[in-house]
Structure 1
Amino acid sequence: MSKKASSERSSANAVRFAELRRWLRVNTSTPGRRWQIALAVVVVAAAVAGLASWVWRPDPPRQREYVDAKACLLTDEKGILSEPARTVWSAMKDASVQTLVRVQYLQVAGAQTAENAEPYLNTLTVARCGMIVAAGPAQIDAVVRNAEKHLDIQFVTVNGGGPAANVRALDAAAPGKLREELRQRLADLADTAS
Protein backbone atom coordinates (compact mmCIF):
# COMPACT_ATOMS: atom_id res chain seq x y z
CA MET A 1 0.00 0.00 0.00
CA SER A 2 1.37 3.40 -0.94
CA LYS A 3 1.97 6.33 1.37
CA LYS A 4 -0.69 8.31 -0.47
CA ALA A 5 -3.42 5.70 0.10
CA SER A 6 -2.38 5.35 3.71
CA SER A 7 -2.53 9.07 4.34
CA GLU A 8 -5.93 9.34 2.60
CA ARG A 9 -7.33 6.58 4.81
CA SER A 10 -6.02 8.17 8.03
CA SER A 11 -7.34 11.57 6.98
CA ALA A 12 -10.78 10.03 6.24
CA ASN A 13 -10.78 8.47 9.71
CA ALA A 14 -9.79 11.80 11.27
CA VAL A 15 -12.68 13.51 9.49
CA ARG A 16 -15.17 10.89 10.73
CA PHE A 17 -13.86 11.20 14.27
CA ALA A 18 -14.12 15.00 14.14
CA GLU A 19 -17.73 14.73 12.89
CA LEU A 20 -18.60 12.35 15.73
CA ARG A 21 -17.05 14.71 18.32
CA ARG A 22 -18.93 17.65 16.82
CA TRP A 23 -22.24 15.71 16.89
CA LEU A 24 -21.70 14.67 20.51
CA ARG A 25 -20.77 18.24 21.52
CA VAL A 26 -23.88 19.68 19.84
CA ASN A 27 -26.22 16.98 21.13
CA THR A 28 -24.81 16.89 24.65
CA SER A 29 -24.95 20.66 25.00
CA THR A 30 -28.70 20.67 24.38
CA PRO A 31 -30.57 21.00 27.72
CA GLY A 32 -31.77 17.58 28.98
CA ARG A 33 -29.86 15.78 26.26
CA ARG A 34 -27.07 14.62 28.63
CA TRP A 35 -29.60 12.85 30.82
CA GLN A 36 -31.07 11.10 27.80
CA ILE A 37 -27.65 9.89 26.72
CA ALA A 38 -26.76 8.76 30.25
CA LEU A 39 -30.08 6.92 30.52
CA ALA A 40 -29.50 5.24 27.16
CA VAL A 41 -26.03 4.11 28.24
CA VAL A 42 -27.44 2.67 31.49
CA VAL A 43 -30.24 0.83 29.65
CA VAL A 44 -27.82 -0.65 27.12
CA ALA A 45 -25.41 -1.71 29.89
CA ALA A 46 -28.25 -3.34 31.84
CA ALA A 47 -29.43 -5.18 28.72
CA VAL A 48 -25.92 -6.45 28.01
CA ALA A 49 -25.47 -7.56 31.64
CA GLY A 50 -28.85 -9.31 31.64
CA LEU A 51 -28.11 -11.09 28.39
CA ALA A 52 -24.67 -12.15 29.65
CA SER A 53 -26.07 -13.53 32.90
CA TRP A 54 -28.75 -15.47 31.00
CA VAL A 55 -26.24 -16.92 28.53
CA TRP A 56 -23.70 -17.95 31.18
CA ARG A 57 -26.10 -19.12 33.89
CA PRO A 58 -25.33 -22.57 35.26
CA ASP A 59 -27.46 -25.46 34.05
CA PRO A 60 -29.66 -27.11 36.65
CA PRO A 61 -28.29 -30.42 37.94
CA ARG A 62 -29.33 -33.36 35.80
CA GLN A 63 -28.39 -36.19 38.11
CA ARG A 64 -30.39 -37.42 41.06
CA GLU A 65 -28.99 -36.99 44.51
CA TYR A 66 -29.56 -40.35 46.13
CA VAL A 67 -29.79 -41.09 49.83
CA ASP A 68 -27.08 -43.27 51.31
CA ALA A 69 -28.96 -46.52 50.78
CA LYS A 70 -28.87 -49.24 48.19
CA ALA A 71 -31.28 -52.02 47.20
CA CYS A 72 -29.94 -54.92 45.14
CA LEU A 73 -31.52 -57.60 42.97
CA LEU A 74 -29.95 -61.05 42.65
CA THR A 75 -31.07 -62.84 39.46
CA ASP A 76 -30.32 -65.96 37.46
CA GLU A 77 -28.08 -66.02 34.38
CA LYS A 78 -30.75 -64.32 32.23
CA GLY A 79 -30.56 -61.19 34.39
CA ILE A 80 -33.50 -58.83 34.13
CA LEU A 81 -34.69 -60.23 30.80
CA SER A 82 -36.86 -63.02 32.20
CA GLU A 83 -39.72 -63.11 34.68
CA PRO A 84 -40.02 -62.54 37.61
CA ALA A 85 -36.79 -60.52 37.57
CA ARG A 86 -38.10 -58.19 34.83
CA THR A 87 -41.15 -57.20 36.89
CA VAL A 88 -39.12 -56.86 40.08
CA TRP A 89 -36.45 -54.72 38.40
CA SER A 90 -39.09 -52.46 36.86
CA ALA A 91 -40.74 -52.02 40.26
CA MET A 92 -37.37 -51.32 41.92
CA LYS A 93 -36.45 -48.67 39.32
CA ASP A 94 -39.83 -46.94 39.71
CA ALA A 95 -39.51 -47.01 43.49
CA SER A 96 -35.96 -45.67 43.24
CA VAL A 97 -37.20 -42.57 41.41
CA GLN A 98 -39.68 -41.88 44.21
CA THR A 99 -37.49 -42.76 47.20
CA LEU A 100 -34.02 -41.84 45.86
CA VAL A 101 -32.60 -45.19 46.95
CA ARG A 102 -29.96 -46.50 44.52
CA VAL A 103 -30.77 -49.83 42.89
CA GLN A 104 -28.54 -52.34 41.14
CA TYR A 105 -28.71 -55.95 40.06
CA LEU A 106 -26.28 -58.83 39.83
CA GLN A 107 -26.85 -61.97 37.81
CA VAL A 108 -25.51 -65.35 38.86
CA ALA A 109 -23.35 -66.85 36.11
CA GLY A 110 -22.74 -70.54 35.69
CA ALA A 111 -24.62 -73.36 37.40
CA GLN A 112 -27.89 -72.22 38.95
CA THR A 113 -27.37 -73.79 42.36
CA ALA A 114 -27.49 -72.32 45.85
CA GLU A 115 -23.78 -73.10 46.28
CA ASN A 116 -22.91 -71.11 43.15
CA ALA A 117 -25.30 -68.25 44.07
CA GLU A 118 -23.81 -67.77 47.56
CA PRO A 119 -20.65 -65.91 46.44
CA TYR A 120 -22.83 -63.54 44.41
CA LEU A 121 -25.06 -63.01 47.44
CA ASN A 122 -21.98 -62.32 49.56
CA THR A 123 -20.84 -59.77 46.97
CA LEU A 124 -24.09 -57.86 47.51
CA THR A 125 -23.80 -58.04 51.29
CA VAL A 126 -20.25 -56.65 51.14
CA ALA A 127 -21.42 -53.94 48.71
CA ARG A 128 -23.57 -52.51 51.56
CA CYS A 129 -26.94 -53.35 50.07
CA GLY A 130 -29.54 -52.51 52.70
CA MET A 131 -32.09 -54.72 50.96
CA ILE A 132 -31.47 -57.72 48.71
CA VAL A 133 -34.22 -59.09 46.50
CA ALA A 134 -33.74 -62.65 45.24
CA ALA A 135 -35.51 -63.77 42.07
CA GLY A 136 -34.92 -67.36 41.02
CA PRO A 137 -34.87 -70.71 42.85
CA ALA A 138 -31.09 -70.91 43.38
CA GLN A 139 -30.96 -67.29 44.52
CA ILE A 140 -33.81 -67.86 47.00
CA ASP A 141 -32.08 -70.96 48.39
CA ALA A 142 -28.87 -68.95 48.87
CA VAL A 143 -30.84 -66.27 50.76
CA VAL A 144 -32.58 -68.84 52.97
CA ARG A 145 -29.21 -70.38 53.88
CA ASN A 146 -27.48 -67.06 54.62
CA ALA A 147 -30.10 -64.57 55.83
CA GLU A 148 -29.51 -65.28 59.52
CA LYS A 149 -25.82 -64.38 59.10
CA HIS A 150 -26.80 -60.86 57.97
CA LEU A 151 -29.50 -59.63 60.32
CA ASP A 152 -28.76 -56.00 59.42
CA ILE A 153 -29.93 -56.58 55.82
CA GLN A 154 -33.54 -56.94 54.67
CA PHE A 155 -34.10 -59.84 52.29
CA VAL A 156 -37.03 -60.19 49.92
CA THR A 157 -37.64 -63.39 48.02
CA VAL A 158 -39.93 -63.59 45.01
CA ASN A 159 -42.02 -66.78 44.65
CA GLY A 160 -40.49 -68.59 47.60
CA GLY A 161 -38.74 -67.96 50.86
CA GLY A 162 -37.79 -69.07 54.32
CA PRO A 163 -38.58 -68.59 57.99
CA ALA A 164 -35.86 -66.06 58.92
CA ALA A 165 -36.96 -62.86 60.66
CA ASN A 166 -35.31 -60.62 58.08
CA VAL A 167 -36.77 -62.41 55.02
CA ARG A 168 -40.04 -61.34 53.43
CA ALA A 169 -41.57 -63.55 50.72
CA LEU A 170 -43.52 -61.87 47.90
CA ASP A 171 -45.62 -63.38 45.14
CA ALA A 172 -44.97 -62.28 41.56
CA ALA A 173 -48.45 -63.43 40.55
CA ALA A 174 -49.82 -60.15 41.98
CA PRO A 175 -47.64 -57.50 40.27
CA GLY A 176 -49.52 -54.53 41.75
CA LYS A 177 -49.02 -55.78 45.29
CA LEU A 178 -45.40 -56.65 44.49
CA ARG A 179 -44.73 -53.12 43.22
CA GLU A 180 -46.36 -51.50 46.24
CA GLU A 181 -44.52 -53.74 48.69
CA LEU A 182 -41.15 -53.03 47.05
CA ARG A 183 -41.88 -49.29 46.97
CA GLN A 184 -42.73 -49.40 50.68
CA ARG A 185 -39.59 -51.40 51.47
CA LEU A 186 -37.42 -48.89 49.59
CA ALA A 187 -39.18 -46.00 51.32
CA ASP A 188 -38.42 -47.61 54.70
CA LEU A 189 -34.81 -48.09 53.63
CA ALA A 190 -34.58 -44.41 52.63
CA ASP A 191 -36.06 -43.36 56.00
CA THR A 192 -33.51 -45.38 57.95
CA ALA A 193 -30.67 -43.93 55.84
CA SER A 194 -31.73 -40.31 56.41
Structure 2
Amino acid sequence: MFARLFEGVRRWYWLAGGGLILIVIAAFVLWPGGEEEPRSRQYRDVSACLLTDSAGINSAEAKPVWAGMQDASLKTLGQVRFLSIAGPQDVTNGRTFVNTLVLGKCAVIVAAGKLPVETVSAVARESPNQKFVIVVSSGSTPEPGVGNVSVVSASGDDATRTAVSSAVADSLS
Protein backbone atom coordinates (compact mmCIF):
# COMPACT_ATOMS: atom_id res chain seq x y z
CA MET A 1 0.00 0.00 0.00
CA PHE A 2 2.79 2.45 0.92
CA ALA A 3 4.74 1.39 -2.16
CA ARG A 4 1.81 2.34 -4.33
CA LEU A 5 1.55 5.72 -2.56
CA PHE A 6 5.26 6.42 -3.15
CA GLU A 7 4.89 5.53 -6.87
CA GLY A 8 2.21 8.25 -7.20
CA VAL A 9 4.41 10.78 -5.40
CA ARG A 10 7.40 9.82 -7.51
CA ARG A 11 5.33 10.26 -10.67
CA TRP A 12 4.25 13.70 -9.45
CA TYR A 13 7.91 14.70 -8.87
CA TRP A 14 8.82 13.61 -12.36
CA LEU A 15 5.96 15.61 -13.90
CA ALA A 16 6.73 18.70 -11.81
CA GLY A 17 10.46 18.45 -12.59
CA GLY A 18 9.77 18.02 -16.32
CA GLY A 19 7.42 20.99 -16.31
CA LEU A 20 10.00 23.12 -14.52
CA ILE A 21 12.67 22.18 -17.07
CA LEU A 22 10.32 23.15 -19.94
CA ILE A 23 9.64 26.51 -18.29
CA VAL A 24 13.37 27.20 -17.93
CA ILE A 25 14.05 26.26 -21.56
CA ALA A 26 11.17 28.43 -22.76
CA ALA A 27 12.45 31.36 -20.69
CA PHE A 28 15.90 31.14 -22.29
CA VAL A 29 14.52 30.81 -25.80
CA LEU A 30 11.88 33.52 -25.53
CA TRP A 31 13.67 35.99 -23.27
CA PRO A 32 14.74 39.07 -25.20
CA GLY A 33 18.46 38.95 -25.80
CA GLY A 34 20.99 41.71 -25.72
CA GLU A 35 20.21 42.62 -29.33
CA GLU A 36 20.15 46.30 -30.16
CA GLU A 37 16.87 47.84 -31.11
CA PRO A 38 16.75 48.75 -34.80
CA ARG A 39 17.58 52.39 -35.27
CA SER A 40 15.36 54.68 -37.24
CA ARG A 41 16.87 56.07 -40.40
CA GLN A 42 17.89 59.71 -40.12
CA TYR A 43 16.78 61.32 -43.37
CA ARG A 44 18.24 64.48 -44.78
CA ASP A 45 15.95 67.45 -45.37
CA VAL A 46 15.66 66.86 -49.11
CA SER A 47 13.02 64.95 -51.02
CA ALA A 48 12.20 63.52 -54.42
CA CYS A 49 8.55 63.38 -55.42
CA LEU A 50 6.78 61.07 -57.83
CA LEU A 51 3.72 62.25 -59.75
CA THR A 52 1.39 59.46 -60.91
CA ASP A 53 -2.03 59.15 -62.45
CA SER A 54 -5.01 57.94 -60.42
CA ALA A 55 -3.62 54.37 -60.31
CA GLY A 56 -0.82 55.57 -58.02
CA ILE A 57 2.35 53.57 -57.47
CA ASN A 58 0.56 50.34 -58.37
CA SER A 59 0.43 51.11 -62.08
CA ALA A 60 2.77 49.23 -64.40
CA GLU A 61 4.60 52.45 -65.31
CA ALA A 62 5.06 53.63 -61.74
CA LYS A 63 6.18 50.43 -59.98
CA PRO A 64 9.78 50.33 -61.28
CA VAL A 65 10.05 54.12 -60.96
CA TRP A 66 8.96 54.03 -57.32
CA ALA A 67 11.38 51.16 -56.63
CA GLY A 68 14.21 53.18 -58.19
CA MET A 69 13.31 56.20 -56.08
CA GLN A 70 13.39 54.07 -52.93
CA ASP A 71 16.83 52.75 -53.96
CA ALA A 72 18.03 56.34 -54.35
CA SER A 73 16.62 57.16 -50.93
CA LEU A 74 18.69 54.38 -49.36
CA LYS A 75 21.84 55.66 -51.09
CA THR A 76 21.39 59.36 -50.30
CA LEU A 77 19.16 59.34 -47.19
CA GLY A 78 16.87 61.69 -49.06
CA GLN A 79 13.14 61.27 -48.59
CA VAL A 80 10.79 60.07 -51.32
CA ARG A 81 7.06 60.54 -51.59
CA PHE A 82 4.39 60.33 -54.25
CA LEU A 83 1.25 62.18 -55.22
CA SER A 84 -1.47 60.76 -57.46
CA ILE A 85 -3.56 63.00 -59.68
CA ALA A 86 -7.09 62.74 -58.30
CA GLY A 87 -10.21 63.83 -60.11
CA PRO A 88 -10.33 64.44 -63.84
CA GLN A 89 -7.40 62.78 -65.56
CA ASP A 90 -6.34 65.68 -67.75
CA VAL A 91 -3.43 68.10 -67.92
CA THR A 92 -5.48 71.03 -66.62
CA ASN A 93 -6.26 69.18 -63.39
CA GLY A 94 -2.77 67.66 -63.25
CA ARG A 95 -1.18 71.14 -63.12
CA THR A 96 -2.60 71.60 -59.62
CA PHE A 97 -0.80 68.49 -58.42
CA VAL A 98 2.52 69.41 -60.04
CA ASN A 99 2.33 72.87 -58.50
CA THR A 100 1.60 71.27 -55.11
CA LEU A 101 4.85 69.32 -55.42
CA VAL A 102 6.76 72.42 -56.53
CA LEU A 103 5.46 74.35 -53.52
CA GLY A 104 6.28 71.33 -51.33
CA LYS A 105 9.96 71.96 -52.04
CA CYS A 106 10.70 68.70 -53.84
CA ALA A 107 14.31 68.70 -55.02
CA VAL A 108 13.22 66.72 -58.07
CA ILE A 109 9.80 65.80 -59.39
CA VAL A 110 9.59 62.51 -61.28
CA ALA A 111 6.69 61.81 -63.64
CA ALA A 112 5.69 58.26 -64.59
CA GLY A 113 2.80 57.51 -66.94
CA LYS A 114 1.30 59.32 -69.92
CA LEU A 115 -0.73 61.97 -68.05
CA PRO A 116 1.97 62.89 -65.49
CA VAL A 117 4.59 63.19 -68.24
CA GLU A 118 2.31 65.42 -70.34
CA THR A 119 1.51 67.53 -67.28
CA VAL A 120 5.15 67.97 -66.24
CA SER A 121 6.09 68.82 -69.82
CA ALA A 122 3.44 71.57 -69.78
CA VAL A 123 4.47 72.97 -66.38
CA ALA A 124 8.28 72.71 -66.64
CA ARG A 125 8.69 75.98 -68.56
CA GLU A 126 6.78 77.84 -65.83
CA SER A 127 9.09 76.52 -63.08
CA PRO A 128 12.63 76.99 -64.41
CA ASN A 129 14.26 76.47 -60.99
CA GLN A 130 12.57 73.11 -60.41
CA LYS A 131 14.26 69.87 -61.54
CA PHE A 132 12.06 67.34 -63.33
CA VAL A 133 12.61 63.79 -64.54
CA ILE A 134 10.14 62.28 -66.97
CA VAL A 135 10.04 58.55 -67.63
CA VAL A 136 8.95 57.79 -71.18
CA SER A 137 8.33 54.46 -72.85
CA SER A 138 11.21 53.35 -75.07
CA GLY A 139 9.17 53.80 -78.27
CA SER A 140 8.07 57.37 -77.64
CA THR A 141 10.07 60.47 -78.29
CA PRO A 142 9.53 63.39 -75.94
CA GLU A 143 9.25 66.80 -77.50
CA PRO A 144 12.40 68.88 -77.27
CA GLY A 145 12.55 69.76 -73.64
CA VAL A 146 13.50 72.46 -71.32
CA GLY A 147 16.85 72.55 -69.52
CA ASN A 148 15.29 71.57 -66.20
CA VAL A 149 13.77 68.32 -67.56
CA SER A 150 15.75 65.08 -67.75
CA VAL A 151 14.42 62.14 -69.72
CA VAL A 152 14.69 58.50 -68.64
CA SER A 153 13.75 55.88 -71.20
CA ALA A 154 11.68 53.06 -69.74
CA SER A 155 13.24 49.97 -71.29
CA GLY A 156 12.23 47.15 -68.97
CA ASP A 157 11.54 47.23 -65.26
CA ASP A 158 15.11 46.59 -64.07
CA ALA A 159 16.69 49.09 -66.46
CA THR A 160 14.06 51.70 -65.59
CA ARG A 161 14.59 51.15 -61.88
CA THR A 162 18.36 51.56 -62.24
CA ALA A 163 18.11 54.65 -64.45
CA VAL A 164 15.59 56.36 -62.15
CA SER A 165 17.67 55.50 -59.09
CA SER A 166 20.71 57.10 -60.67
CA ALA A 167 18.85 60.23 -61.82
CA VAL A 168 17.16 60.74 -58.45
CA ALA A 169 20.36 60.06 -56.48
CA ASP A 170 22.16 62.69 -58.57
CA SER A 171 19.40 65.21 -57.83
CA LEU A 172 19.37 64.47 -54.11
CA SER A 173 23.16 64.63 -53.69
TM-score scaled by structure 1? 0.63
Quote the offset at 1:60 in angstroms.
5.4
| Count of aligned pairs | 135
Distance 1:146 1:101, change over 3 A: same
Structure 2 counterpart of 1:183: 165
Structure 2 counterpart of 1:90: 67
Within 5 Å, which residues of 2 pair with 1:157-168? Answer: 157-159=134-136, 161-162=142-143, 163-168=145-150
Quote the offset at 1:138 in angstroms.
1.8
Structure 1 counterpart of 2:151: 169
Letter in 2 for 1:87: P
Structure 1 counterpart of 2:115: 138
Quote the offset at 1:94 in angstroms.
1.7
**Helix, strand or coil at the partner of 1:89:** helix
Within 5 Å, which residues of 2 pair with 1:80-119? Answer: 80-119=57-96
Does the 8 Å CA contact 2:85/2:94 hold for their aligned counterparts?
Answer: yes
Letter in 1 for 2:87: G
Q: Which has the higher contact order (CA 8 A, sep 6+)?
A: 2
Q: Distance in 1 between matches of 2:156 and 2:58?
A: 19
Q: Distance in 2 between matches of 1:189 and 1:156?
A: 10
Match of 1:77 among 46, 54, 60: 54
Structure 1: runs of 5 or more not aligned? 1-56
Does the 8 Å CA contact 2:49/2:82 hold for their aligned counterparts?
Answer: yes
Letter in 1 for 2:120: V
Q: Distance in 2 between matches of 1:167 and 1:190?
A: 15
Does the 8 Å CA contact 1:134/1:140 hold for their aligned counterparts?
Answer: yes
Q: Distance in 1 between matches of 2:59 and 2:169?
A: 26
Quote the offset at 1:68 in angstroms.
1.8
For the pair shown, the structure with the greater C-alpha radius of gyration is 1
Quote the offset at 1:157 in angstroms.
0.9
Within 5 Å, which residues of 2 pair with 1:1-20? Answer: none
TM-score scaled by structure 2? 0.70
Does the 8 Å CA contact 1:69/1:189 hold for their aligned counterparts?
Answer: no
Task: Provide runs of 4+ in structure 1 moved above 4 Å.
Answer: none
Deviations 1:99-131 (A, max 9, x none): 111000000112211101000001100100011
Aligned-pair Cα RMSD in Å: 2.1
